[in-house]
Amino acid sequence: MATIQDVAKRAGVSVATVSRVLNHSLSVREDTRKKVQVAIKDLNYQPNLLGRNLRRSETKMILVLLPTISNTFYVKIVKGIEEVGLRNGYNIMLCDTDSDKQREEVYLDLLKNKLIDGAIFMATELSKEELSEIGRYFPMIQCCEYKEGAEVSYISIDNFAAAYKAVQHLIELGHQRIGMISGTNHCISTFQREAGYKKALEDAGIAFDDALILKGEYGFKSGFRAAKQFLHRDKRPTAIFAMSDMMAIGAMKAIKERGLQIPDDMAVVGFDNIRFSTMVEPQLTTISQPQYDIGCIAMDLLLKQMKGELKEPQHIFVEHELIIRKSTFK
């Protein structure tokens, strides 16, 4: 295997000159640059990128922490992060924390030991104080979920307004008894969506009934189980608002098994507009988040922070949209 010394000898230049060519230095004369490039090609020389990056105190690697890698909602977000990263010379390291704080802290040691250049959190288990402390010393961005009061930039949607809009849609269709399948976690989106649900009921003059909120784990099975609980009640809801599309699709399965029609007997609204929302019958009414754009913005924010261009934490909210399909309206 050829070394940088071999390249220098073949080109008739110093090792330092070869290094400057590899680092795209403008101080190298064009004829010298061409001689070095020819030598590199002839010898099939492969530079030691790891060593070079370590000398620069950078790894060109970004850590992306997901609470679960199985949630299809994150697919487009990760794609946006990766594409912006690649355009700027960065690769990503995708890690599943399983919403476990100790696991998260193990991955964060990579950041603290400078084995990665920055981190993007999808749903951190750290407290706002812990986030703020780490954020003082290392580049990091909160994506989708965030901790209010943490001195760390974030990108998200207005979950309160989105939930309000979804429930308002059901109310406008004449539904008065609306069940909600919420989440069991402590994410800010869970509290905000529940608050939006309650406020929509309040503004329509509909009394809030705590029994109409059931909890799920964001997956198909938990949506199915929650809907079955609603269906076994004497006074069941006429509509269900689920906090994720997968829970909504699980609820639709339970409704159909009971022999009921959607939306005639029970309407269903989901959240996220994942690709499966158009693959079910009837197609699912849902709140659409611009996942790809969220990922792009998160990575762009992180790059700016690493360059020292962010003087204060940025709080960015992107637009959401209610996509009305046949699960609520014929």
Residue pLDDT, tens place only, 170-209: 999 999 999 999 998 889 999 999 999 999 999 999 999 9
Which whole-number Å values give the CA distances from 96 to 99, 124, 153, 290, in the listed order? 8, 11, 21, 22
For the domain made up of 4-47, give the CATH fold: 434 Repressor (Amino-terminal Domain) (1.10.260)
Return the residue matching tokens 């993007």: 120
* pLDDT reported for residue 56: 55
Residue pLDDT, tens place only, 285-327: 999 999 999 999 999 999 999 999 988 999 999 999 999 999 9
Indicate if 159-289 has the same CATH topology as 4-47: no
- What's the token pair of residue 216? 């799920």
CATH code, residues 159-289:
3.40.50.2300
Helix residue ranges per DSSP H, 120-244: 128-135, 159-172, 188-203, 220-231
> What are φ and ψ of residue 269, in 5° steps?
-125, 140
Q: Domains of the chain: which residue ranges?
A: 4-47, 61-157+291-319, 159-289
pLDDT tier for residue 23 given thresholds of 50, 70 and 90: confident
Sign of CA dihedral 324, 327, 329, 330: positive
Residue 12 has pLDDT above 80, yes or no: yes
User: Which residues have C-beta within 8 Å of that of residue 304, sequence separation ≥ 6?
Assistant: 310
* pLDDT reported for residue 182: 96
For the domain made up of 61-157+291-319, give the CATH fold: Rossmann fold (3.40.50)
Percent of the chain with pLDDT over 90: 74
Residue 53 has pLDDT above 80, yes or no: no
Percent of the chain with pLDDT over 70: 97
- What's the token pair of residue 184? 């069991």
Q: Is 276 helix (H, G, I), strand (E, B) or coil?
A: helix
Residue 110 has pLDDT above 90, yes or no: no
pLDDT tier for residue 251 given thresholds of 50, 70 and 90: very high
